[in-house]
Structure 1
Amino acid sequence: MSNELVINSTQNGCRIALLKDKSLVEFHFEDNGTQFTVGDVYLGAVKKVVQGLNAAFIDIGYEKDAFLHYLDLGPKVKSLNKFSKLASTKKNAYPKISNFKIEPDIDKFGKISQVLSKNQQILVQIVKEPISSKGPRLSCELSIAGRYMVIVPFSNTVNISKKIGDSEERKRLMRLISSIKPENFGIIIRTVAQGKEVADLDRDLKNLVKIWEDGVKKMKTAKPREKVIGEISRASSMLRDMLNESFDSITTDDKEIYDEVKSYIKTIAPDKEKIVKKYNGKAKIFENFGIEKQLKTLFGQSVSIPGGGYLIIEHTEALHVIDVNSGNKSNAEEDQETTALTVNLQAAKEIARQLRLRDMGGIIVIDFIDMKKPDNKKLLFKKMKEEMQDDRSKFTVLPLSKFGLMQITRQRVRPELNISTLEKCPSCNGTGKISASILVSDQIEQNLEYILQKQNEHNVQIALHPYLHSYFTKGIFSKRVKWFLKYHKWINIIEDSSLGITEFKFLTKTGEEIEIG
């Protein structure tokens, strides 16, 4: 199984595609204008404390105030506020967290007015980007993620990923991390830390502590609404979370991104540095890897399932609905139950891919084809959970209900990605009407005669729809040969599928359009 990351730089940002065995499984667009990314830490100002919601609205510079609930303050918020005040005081040198005395935890069932007041400055981290009409969602339980671990300031606990099942390995990691852990930093050990040497873990820990200390230094001059600690780019964060032995290629067409990714790979996994490549081909990078075509076929309302069948995907404000249909598969199996099971199992794989691809979140309801046998229903439930295992977002899959519906909840921290797959017909420009197509060849011949004889143009080229290209070029005595005999000039005819059947362009040798008249 191969994993490839392809990064395309555009004028507005960069497009990031993750391919698994050449098949697109994740697609991200990193907009240059997007300021508020999950993981960013801001110095916010409390705009409003709402007792009824037990929450506060924080100004971090977004057009709508961000939302901070009491339960998202975290038990150590008093320590955070006290430390922030010390760090922003210009008289003292920046405080060291290792020498800081941790304040008592806040009451789990307390009121937000006991902790925050209007216009108070507070350090907050974005846990959900602005979605739809809502502003960002915030937390005061700060964390900084690295390759092998996550550090949590104002804590002293060490936790290990549940995916590391080997008890001996868990003990080894616990012993190693406890021996190198700085005071007043909690550590969450990530799954990829399994089997790593203490030198790798120590290097990652020092990098994270440095990020924290740089942010603390910045607070001395920081003003409200200013970013204090920034999350790394989307491409680098994907590499941090997913880079493993199966990764065999990272390709980009941009020199800056190439240098950034190579530098980051050198930091987190020096042995993988060679897999970063700079693309220099003539064709566009997404065209070369077949991604553009996949984007057009995978983001429509209707999505085909390999082997027959199709999905209908509907989006509403409250939830997402996916309907599974058998299509031409209905005659391929012996009986209805077998057909339903075959299509449903194929659909489960495609649905898991679609959830990652579109980054769909919230509640997803799937209407699978009805099955009667309980064993088949259990098999489908098991298959769905297996296919979802590679998803980095938190999710819950429920068994099929009595009505044959499956419910999935999936964490959403960014707006859902949606790509328009509808195109305007180039012939009618969306109107549904075109001028009489029988006249187009006469119009081309009249305009050509005017350009050659009245405007005295040389080296004329004509860009045409493929059908018209065939009409003027096919045969021994084609229309183009007759033009040569008539005007003693060879006309170059270019096939252009982006033009409508009634559209044409006259061009110079350099490709500039010739104005007629």
Structure 2
Amino acid sequence: MRKELVISAKRDQVQLALLENQRLVELHQDSQDESLKVGDIILGRVKKVMPGMNAAFIDIGGPRDAFLHYTDMGPLFTTYAYYMHGILSGKHKDYNLERLKVQENMDKEGKIEDVLKPKQILPFQVYKEPISTKGPRMTTEVSIAGRYLILTPFSNQVGVSRKVANETERKRLKRLIESLKPKNFGVIVRTNAQGKKSSELHQDLESLLKKWRTAIAKVHNAKPRTVIHSELDKTTTTIRDMLNSSFNAVITDNETIYNSLVEYIGDFAELDTNILRHHRGERPIFDQFGVTKQIKNLFGHTVTFAKGPYLVLDHTEAMHVVDVNSGGKVAMQGDQETNALAVNTDAADEIARQLRLRDLGGIIIIDFIDMRAKDNKKFIYDRMRDLLKLDNATTTVLPLSKFNLMQITRQRVRPQVEIKTVEQCPACNGTGKIEASILVTDRIEDAIEQRTESDSIHLKVHPYIHAWFTKGLFSERYKLSKRLGKRISIDAVENLPLNKFEFVD
């Protein structure tokens, strides 16, 4: 399988597209704003304790209060609260937790009002970003992620990712980390750590411990609503978590990101800087690699697959619903059961792709085409489970019910990726009438003539208009350039409407 990461950077947003055999399977967006991100640690103040919900609302300075449930506080909360109280008051100055007095574990069935009080100040970590009308969800089970390891203070447990399947390697990693980690710090070993040397893991661990000490050093003098540890921007974290030796190419159109990647990849022996490319072409990078067209095809209300069948995707506050339709494949050869199995098999492939692509989380209900045979139902269930093993998010899949419904839960950490593919026509503003398209070339020529301040003109147009201007030995661009005595460059941009054009200054 050929894997490519294409990174498009604009003034206010960075988009990362993961391609597998040139098929778009993941799309990540990083807005350049100041909003909190998953992993950020902020000094918050308890605003309300809600015994009926066994939860509390935390003031972190955002437009909506954050939410903390009792189960997200963890069994070691009493130790955490005791230590943080000492840090805030100045009594504790041991950031390494070596001499920490561990308190009794919190009762799993306990009540939040017994351990958390209004106006209490503590560091809280963003566990889930704000979704819809809900504020961010917080936790006090603090963790700091690196490339190979995740540091979990106040715990002594060492865990290894389930995706590390080799039992010998699991034991090696666990034994190694247990010998390296300091007291009262837990560690989760990530999948990327497979085959890594002790020196590489130790370096990552030391980096995480330094981040912890830096964050805790800020707590004593910090005021409520202060961010004491900020996770890397989403672009960097996505690259850190995703990039490995299986990638064939990483392409970006931004020089700053390219230079950062050269430096980043150079630090890891398993990665080859030869996979990096800096796109300097005139066409936008997403157009060049076919990403724009795939986005338009894959983010609509309906998604066609396998040249006929299609999915209908609907979203509610509680769940996502996917309906599988056979479309033009009703006339396939064979009986109804065989046809249904063929369509459902292709649908399972596309649905697994859509879950990753749109980052759908929560409850997903899939209405497959009716099948009677138990073996066929089990085949679709097994196939979906195998496909979702490629997904980094945690998923749970249930077998098809007697109504041919499949239930999936998928870890929801961030809001789903939403891209509007149906919009009001920018040319007619929804009226259904536009200026005669034949006149657009006249308007372009008039606009070029009016730009007298420069002898060089660079503009972007729709691909059809680009073809009209540039095709032929003595093209219209050539004639216009000779007549006006100007150097004229024209780029084709798929996102532009037919009757729109833009000058590049």
- Give me the TM-score of the superposition, normalised by structure 1: 0.85
Is the alpha carbon distance of 1:101 and 1:283 closer, same or farther for their aligned partners in structure 2, counting shifts above 3 Å? Answer: same
**Separation in structure 2 between the aligned mates of residue 265 and residue 280 of structure 1, nearest angstrom:** 21
Larger deviation, residues 409-418 vs 492-501? 492-501
**Separation in structure 2 between the aligned mates of residue 398 and residue 180 of structure 1, nearest angstrom:** 40
Larger deviation, residues 133-142 vs 488-497? 488-497
Is the alpha carbon distance of 1:290 and 1:471 closer, same or farther for their aligned partners in structure 2, counting shifts above 3 Å? Answer: closer
Deviation at 1:408, TM superposition (A): 1.0
- Which runs of 5 or more structure 1 residues have no equivalent in the other structure? 453-457, 513-517
**Separation in structure 2 between the aligned mates of residue 183 and residue 460 of structure 1, nearest angstrom:** 66
**CA deviation digits over 1:435-458, x for unaligned, max 9?**
6889x69x969x98xx99xxxxx9
Deviation at 1:388, TM superposition (A): 0.9
**Counterpart in the other structure of 1:515:** none
**Counterpart in the other structure of 2:44:** 44
**Counterpart in the other structure of 2:384:** 384
**Counterpart in the other structure of 2:419:** 419
**Counterpart in the other structure of 2:271:** 272
**Separation in structure 2 between the aligned mates of residue 422 and residue 229 of structure 1, nearest angstrom:** 39
**Separation in structure 1 between the aligned mates of residue 340 and residue 406 of structure 2, nearest angstrom:** 15
Amino acid corresponding to residue 202 of structure 2 in structure 1: D
**Separation in structure 2 between the aligned mates of residue 176 and residue 479 of structure 1, nearest angstrom:** 69
Q: Secondary structure at the match of 1:6?
A: strand
Deviation at 1:426, TM superposition (A): 5.3
**Counterpart in the other structure of 2:241:** 241
Deviation at 1:308, TM superposition (A): 2.9
**Separation in structure 2 between the aligned mates of residue 56 and residue 167 of structure 1, nearest angstrom:** 41
Amino acid corresponding to residue 150 of structure 1 in structure 2: I
Q: Is the 8 A contact 1:308 1:343 kept in 2?
A: no
Aligned alpha-carbon RMSD (Å): 3.8
Deviation at 1:6, TM superposition (A): 1.6
- Which runs of 5 or more structure 2 residues have no equivalent in the other structure? none
Is the alpha carbon distance of 1:347 and 1:216 closer, same or farther for their aligned partners in structure 2, counting shifts above 3 Å? Answer: same
Identity percentage of aligned residues? 47
Larger deviation, residues 118-127 vs 172-181? 172-181
**Counterpart in the other structure of 2:10:** 10
Q: Is the 8 A contact 1:469 1:493 kept in 2?
A: no
Q: Secondary structure at the match of 1:245?
A: coil
**Counterpart in the other structure of 1:103:** 103
**Counterpart in the other structure of 1:455:** none
Q: Secondary structure at the match of 2:222?
A: coil
**Separation in structure 1 between the aligned mates of residue 190 and residue 392 of structure 2, nearest angstrom:** 13
**Separation in structure 2 between the aligned mates of residue 307 and residue 17 of structure 1, nearest angstrom:** 24
**Counterpart in the other structure of 1:194:** 194
**CA deviation digits over 1:75-101, x for unaligned, max 9?**
111222222233334587553312222
**Counterpart in the other structure of 1:310:** 310
Larger deviation, residues 359-368 vs 87-96? 87-96
**Separation in structure 1 between the aligned mates of residue 102 and residue 238 of structure 2, nearest angstrom:** 34
**Separation in structure 2 between the aligned mates of residue 359 and residue 425 of structure 1, nearest angstrom:** 28
**Separation in structure 1 between the aligned mates of residue 421 and residue 456 of structure 2, nearest angstrom:** 38
Q: Secondary structure at the match of 2:178?
A: helix
**Counterpart in the other structure of 2:79:** 79
Q: Which 4+ residue blocks in structure 1 deviate beyond 4 angstroms?
A: 89-94, 434-438, 458-475, 488-501
Counterpart check, 1:344 vs 2:344: yes
**Separation in structure 2 between the aligned mates of residue 307 and residue 112 of structure 1, nearest angstrom:** 54
Is the alpha carbon distance of 1:112 and 1:293 closer, same or farther for their aligned partners in structure 2, counting shifts above 3 Å? Answer: same
Is the alpha carbon distance of 1:153 and 1:460 closer, same or farther for their aligned partners in structure 2, counting shifts above 3 Å? Answer: closer
Is the alpha carbon distance of 1:317 and 1:307 closer, same or farther for their aligned partners in structure 2, counting shifts above 3 Å? Answer: same
Q: Secondary structure at the match of 1:330?
A: helix
Counterpart check, 1:398 vs 2:403: no
Q: Secondary structure at the match of 1:98?
A: coil
Is the alpha carbon distance of 1:500 and 1:266 closer, same or farther for their aligned partners in structure 2, counting shifts above 3 Å? Answer: closer
**Separation in structure 1 between the aligned mates of residue 334 and residue 468 of structure 2, nearest angstrom:** 49
Deviation at 1:427, TM superposition (A): 5.0
Is the alpha carbon distance of 1:375 and 1:43 closer, same or farther for their aligned partners in structure 2, counting shifts above 3 Å? Answer: same
Q: Secondary structure at the match of 1:97?
A: coil
**CA deviation digits over 1:126-158, x for unaligned, max 9?**
111000000011111111122222111011122
Is the alpha carbon distance of 1:101 and 1:284 closer, same or farther for their aligned partners in structure 2, counting shifts above 3 Å? Answer: same
Q: Secondary structure at the match of 1:270?
A: coil
Q: Is the 8 A contact 2:427 2:500 kept in 1?
A: no
**CA deviation digits over 1:260-313, x for unaligned, max 9?**
33333344x234150333322222111111111111111011111124311111
Q: Secondary structure at the match of 2:5?
A: strand
Q: Secondary structure at the match of 2:152?
A: strand
Point out the structure with max Rg over C-alpha. Answer: 1
Q: Secondary structure at the match of 1:422?
A: coil
Q: Secondary structure at the match of 1:399?
A: coil
Q: Secondary structure at the match of 2:80?
A: helix
**CA deviation digits over 1:44-83, x for unaligned, max 9?**
1111111111111111121111011111111111222222
**Separation in structure 2 between the aligned mates of residue 342 and residue 163 of structure 1, nearest angstrom:** 30
**Counterpart in the other structure of 1:132:** 132
Is the alpha carbon distance of 1:334 and 1:216 closer, same or farther for their aligned partners in structure 2, counting shifts above 3 Å? Answer: same
Aligned residues: 495
- Give me the TM-score of the superposition, normalised by structure 2: 0.86
Deviation at 1:494, TM superposition (A): 8.5
Is the alpha carbon distance of 1:391 and 1:470 closer, same or farther for their aligned partners in structure 2, counting shifts above 3 Å? Answer: closer
Q: Is the 8 A contact 1:40 1:231 kept in 2?
A: yes
Deviation at 1:433, TM superposition (A): 3.2
Amino acid corresponding to residue 114 of structure 2 in structure 1: Q
**Separation in structure 1 between the aligned mates of residue 68 and residue 500 of structure 2, nearest angstrom:** 58
Q: Secondary structure at the match of 1:105?
A: coil
Q: Secondary structure at the match of 2:271?
A: helix
Amino acid corresponding to residue 271 of structure 2 in structure 1: K
Is the alpha carbon distance of 1:296 and 1:461 closer, same or farther for their aligned partners in structure 2, counting shifts above 3 Å? Answer: closer
Amino acid corresponding to residue 251 of structure 1 in structure 2: I
**Counterpart in the other structure of 1:329:** 329
